[in-house]
Chain A
Amino acid sequence: MRARQLVWIRRISQTFFLLFFLFLLVESRLPRDVFVDYSVVFSAEPDLAIDYPVGFFFQLDPLVWLSSLISGHQLIKGFWWALVLLAVTLFMGRIFCGFVCPLGTLHHAVSWFRPSLKADAMIRANEKASSQKIKYFLLITVLVGAVLGLNMAGLMDPLSVFFRSLALALFPGAAMGLREFSEVIANSDSTALRLLSYGGEVIAQFLFGFGYKAYTTAWFIGIIFLGIVFLNRIRPRFWCRVLCPLGALLGICSRLSILRLEKDRAKCTDCELCAKSCQGAASPKPGNDWENAECLMCFNCFDSCPASALFFRFRWSSLRLNRGPDMGRRALLAGLVGGISLPLFGRLDGRVHKVADPRLIRPPGALPEKDFLTLCQRCGLCMKACPTNVINPTLTEAGMAGFWTPHLIMTQGYCEYTCTLCGDVCPTGAIRVFSAKEKIETPIVIGSAYIDRGRCLPWSGNGPCIVCEEHCPTSPKAIFFHKDMVPGPNGKQQMAQLPHVDLRKCVGCGICEFKCPVKGRPAIRVISAGESRSLENQILL
């Protein structure tokens, strides 16, 4: 096959997978037209679901498969996609990086479009550097850490990084901008502008879903993402060659690859065009040893060589091992140190073994904290899918070990009583699949509510209010009233309906906290105590 054709096939493949990734990301939400026929609904508790396999890219990701296998001893659903990818890698090297990876495609495009470096500088930048060992260090840290029960893969895994950044920062940011702009021009006198505003609203709703979304630490996720993209100005595909642990894993697996770059030293004119176009710094130039573990299989060198001194070929005959990945002893040692220390340090805050953070309310179906941390990829899929926007990435609530894992902020949303989406979409089963029936009948408890009597309107003598009781979804309600006299504003005793929480019935859904008219710090709040996933974090006998 000619080089030109190969490059075009690569481009088409990259575009396809990037669009597919974006499509699944957009569809990671409850669709609008998910209607249940009520003749059916009369008889069964319906579970609304997302139509598309939105976790596909995480099933395809060998790092997700491997880390959850080592750490949580679980084979995630659809893991055989990852095995297929590994098998392909064994034969064809890091073809995933060059043809499939959506984040890699973004880096590729950014690096290719108006490169920051001029010819000579670019050739020097594309020489193999020792910084490329960092990715092996990160991979070893992740895998060793996984052995010790902390899954950090998602912090650096390119698919998690990309999904999290788009779903929690870039998309909500763009949606906010579009919505605010629409609302400004909605009041205009010009019909054209008002139509534009309506169009903006339609696009915003289609792409980004309803209303304004908010995610704590989203600014941080967004800035990190912009930083990662900016790194392409320093070296093309900086992330892929220096930082990506998935790239490192695939690089190691490419040792057996039979698709090899063949070099013809005799034909080479030393024009260095191959080095200039090599985004992986894999030493394509004849005379140097090809670094197959670094090669992103983009076929740029093959395409750029004017003298036909380079070509890719399947070599079936010899089963000789390729050059091993150049990770060096230091990366290995540092990886071991990092991988051993981080999971242990991460548990030193006592949140796993001593006392749970009251604000760390995990989604329903979340595994016990220790198991949860062995599986959660921090990808943000549950946060994106949650219809009420209650699931947010943690900052400090789950300690260092649980940075960016999901937790529920009840002032921002609440857990819908019969909703099961977070369990449906979780790619690794850190939030297990559960049905609405199970959620209600077991019941799955995520926390418990308590009343702040100093703030509560009836308790503090500031007038009647029953909003928490009204919204309480359990039957019978977990919030009940006791009528009693309380001193009013003038000191006179007055009769009031005073809300109380029945801890035996409360499931911690948080709708009471969300709807409480006392804004800022609601008068009824939910803490994690009582969550059914924990044996220790309990209140009642």
Chain B
Amino acid sequence: MNFDDSITRRETLKRLITISGVVGFYGASGIPFTAFSPAQAKAAPRRFIIEGIGQTEGYSIKELATRVFDAAGGMKHFVSKGDVVAIKPNISWARQPALAATTNPVVLEAVIELCYEAGAKKVRIVDNTINDVRRCFAITGAGTVAKKTNADLVFPSSSLMRRMKINGDRLDVWPVFTPLIEADKLINLPIAKTHSLSSLTLGIKNWIGGVGGRRYALHQDIHRTIVDLAQFFKPTVTLIDGISILVKNGPSGGSPSDVAMKNTLILSDDPVAADAFAARLFGYSPDKIGFISLGDKSGLGTKEFLKLDQKKVIV
């Protein structure tokens, strides 16, 4: 593949729209292509944030996830009939689910089932993992989930990476994992963990797992590059897995003593607010976390989650 032959996001969208034959509609309606994004097209004027907490002993994580989505108007609000949905969990490490280094497989399973119930044509699990992808899929439980729910596992390969125009403050052109771009709807499904450079890794940092290339150089300006990537990807909705979180030794963990049970799910269509809210799980102030402040400043979202349409679900 010729990496110098870069395609901008806008071009990709244009192509997709042309193919699906709706270019005329958008042309007539006067909506410029730049304004087109899944989040903006769907979102109500007032954004929401929903906190789901499992309080009863032996509560069902699946029920919690369903109730959280119901509070936001149901998965139908985000996923339409016939949609191809890409889910971006954080399954970077070949670690057992109990070690909380990767998205909880039960949450993943619940979200995939909800997508299918909402009429999705295909759900794909997409992550450019750090450890060997086969081992990641196998050990984190994502592979079993895919088999159970009939979702697709997307195995990263060089032919699925394409240099694209990020148009960020710091990142101009960068290799992007295309299945994330080519889906109709994109759901960000990270797990909350500590991180020695960015303090925490939550929702918008998860997009580092959506790119390839020399991505370990991004750490040299981590907050700026995270926000650049988050502005590029624009998920339909973010669900932060706070069932069990990694409170030390992050982001890879490795010991059950690094894990704290929080039994929380956070759903929002505002990626910055979701992260700001999730920072509280660790007792961190959102203002102290670079990428949250920066995301707030650059208009990606708001860290003032109190201003959002707030709901709480308890199971």
Contact = CB atoms under 8 A, between A and B. Distances in A.
A binds B: yes
Contact of B134 (A34, A41, A186): A34
A464 B145 CA distance: 37
A311 interface: no
B157 A41 contact: no
Contacts, number: 143
A470 B196 contact: yes
Given A41-B96, A416-B131, A467-B219, A476 B249 contact: yes
Given A182-B159, A211-B157, A470-B252, A387 B132 contact: yes
Given A35-B143, A517-B214, A183 B159 contact: yes
B158 interface: yes
Nearest to B105: A38
A516 interface: yes
Nearest to A197: B159
Interface string A169-190: 0000000000100110011000
Nearest to B250: A470
B135 A38 contact: no
Interface stretch (B46-54, B59-67, B253-261, B307-315): B253-261
B144 A38 contact: yes
B96 A45 contact: yes
A473 B220 contact: no
19 contacts: A35-B138, A36-B139, A41-B139, A42-B96, A43-B98, A46-B139, A183-B1, A183-B158, A183-B159, A187-B5, A418-B135, A419-B132, A463-B220, A465-B219, A467-B219, A470-B195, A474-B254, A476-B248, A515-B216
Contacts of B16: none
B231 to A, nearest CB: 22
A464 B138 contact: no
A416 B95 CA distance: 11
Contacts of A515: 130, 216
B97 A38 contact: yes
Contacts of B140: 38
Contact of A470 (B97, B137, B251, B258): B251
Given A42-B98, A46-B96, A416-B132, A35 B137 contact: yes
Given A36-B141, A41-B97, A466-B196, A475 B258 contact: yes
Contacts of A32: 134, 137, 155
A471 interface: yes
Contact of B1 (A186, A465, A476): A186
Contacts of B97: 38, 41-42
Contacts of A463: 220-221
Given A42-B98, A466-B219, A476-B249, A471 B130 contact: yes
A205 interface: yes
Nearest to A479: B196
Contact of B197 (A45, A46, A466, A516): A466
Contacts of B253: 475
A516 B216 contact: yes
A37 B257 CA distance: 23
Interface string B94-106: 1111100000011
B222 interface: yes
A61 interface: no
A457 interface: yes
Given A186-B159, A210-B155, A481 B196 contact: yes
Nearest to B93: A473
Contact of B135 (A48, A182, A467, A497): A48
Contacts of B147: 33, 35
A486 interface: no
A201 interface: yes
B189 to A, nearest CB: 15
A388 interface: yes
Contacts of A153: none
B96 A477 contact: no
A471 B252 CA distance: 7
B138 A470 contact: no
Nearest to A201: B159
Given A35-B138, A48-B138, A463-B220, 7 more contacts: A35-B143, A41-B98, A201-B157, A211-B158, A416-B135, A470-B195, A517-B219
Interface residues of B, number: 50
B179 to A, nearest CB: 14
A467 B216 contact: yes
A475 B254 contact: yes
Nearest to B144: A35
Q: Pick the 9 closest A-B CB pairs, nearest first.
A: A38-B141, A475-B254, A35-B143, A475-B255, A387-B132, A466-B197, A517-B217, A183-B1, A517-B216
B2 interface: yes
A230 interface: no
Interface string B184-224: 00000000000111000000000000000010110111100
B242 to A, nearest CB: 18
Interface in A483-524: 497, 515-517, 519
B142 to A, nearest CB: 8
Contacts of B137: 32, 35
Contacts of A325: none
Given A37-B144, A41-B96, A187 B216 contact: no
A456 B266 CA distance: 38
B195 to A, nearest CB: 7
B219 A48 contact: no
A46 B138 contact: yes
A291 interface: no
Interface in A388-413: 388
- B96, B147, B221: most-surrounded residue (chain A CB, <10 A): B96
Contacts of B216: 467, 515-517
B8 to A, nearest CB: 16
Interface string B35-52: 000000000000000000
A207 to B, nearest CB: 14
Nearest to A182: B159
B181 to A, nearest CB: 16
Nearest to A31: B134
Contact of A416 (B94, B145, B248, B251): B94
Nearest to A472: B252
Given A187-B2, A388-B132, A36 B138 contact: yes
B1 A48 contact: no
Interface string B158-174: 11000000000000000
Given A466-B197, A473-B254, A419 B220 contact: no
B238 to A, nearest CB: 22
A33 B143 contact: yes
A40 B157 CA distance: 29
A469 interface: yes
A13 to B, nearest CB: 35
A17 interface: no
A30 B136 CA distance: 12
A200 B216 CA distance: 30
Contacts of B143: 33-36
Contacts of A466: 196-197, 219
